[in-house]
Amino acid sequence: MKHERWKPSVTVAAIIESGGRFLLVEEETPEGLMLNQPAGHLDEGESPIAAVARETLEETAHPLRARGAGGRLHGALPAPSREEDVTYLRLAFCGQAGEAIAGQALDKGIVRTLWLSLDELRASSARHRSPLLLQCVEDYVAGRRLPLDAIHVDPSVQQPLIKT
């Protein structure tokens, strides 16, 4: 019997604050209409900073200028539609959003973008896609962040050592 190595699902998330409000997306999920940060999976060959910029643009139509690493969170969350728990390693980045690009389509499943205050975020926790969403924002508000140069991506990520 072959034993498969356990691997967490690596995701990136953007913490974008402007005037005391945070940019979120409302999205269709198997569990219903939920709130999330602009977030998604890290793709093969992609740096975490490039991934969070890509996901933010795809989900909000706003270009992102990452300014810091907001945190690294680890959590096992239930995925009822898949009848399993999924362990996520979430890399959060804080930054500034540029103006939305007119006519830019949002990713499939994204219903709309919205800006919520911290109090509104706390009050809407039952609609959060993940409890990591609020933790990311709470960490940001508490000033827990690292400079972007704390994130090192080895060149082997873009140029694999083993050729297939």
The model carries a pTM of 0.86
Cβ(68)–Cβ(94) below 8 Å: yes
- Count Cβ atoms below 10 Å from residue 28 Cβ, excluding itself: 12
List of domains in the chain? 9-146 (3.90.79.10)
Reading the chain (164 residues) residue by residue, the pLDDT tens digits are: 566 777 888 899 999 999 999 999 999 998 899 999 999 999 999 999 999 999 999 999 999 999 999 877 666 666 656 566 778 888 999 999 999 999 999 999 999 999 999 999 999 999 999 888 999 999 999 999 889 888 888 888 877 666 65
Element of type H or E holding 123? helix 118-123
45-49 long-range Cβ contacts below 8 angstroms, 24+ apart: 45/157, 45/158, 46/157, 47/151, 47/153, 47/157, 48/12, 48/91, 48/93, 48/151, 48/153, 49/93, 49/148, 49/151, 49/153
Predicted confidence at residue 163, as pLDDT, reads 65
Report the C-alpha gap between 63 and 89 in whole angstroms: 24
CA 137 to mean position of chain CA atoms:
11
Report the C-alpha gap between 99 and 62 in whole angstroms: 6
Cβ(14)–Cβ(67) below 8 Å: no
- Residue 145: C-alpha distances to residues 74, 93, 96 (Å): 16, 8, 14
Predicted confidence at residue 53, as pLDDT, reads 98
Predicted confidence at residue 94, as pLDDT, reads 96
Predicted confidence at residue 2, as pLDDT, reads 60
Residue 105 in 3-state DSSP? coil
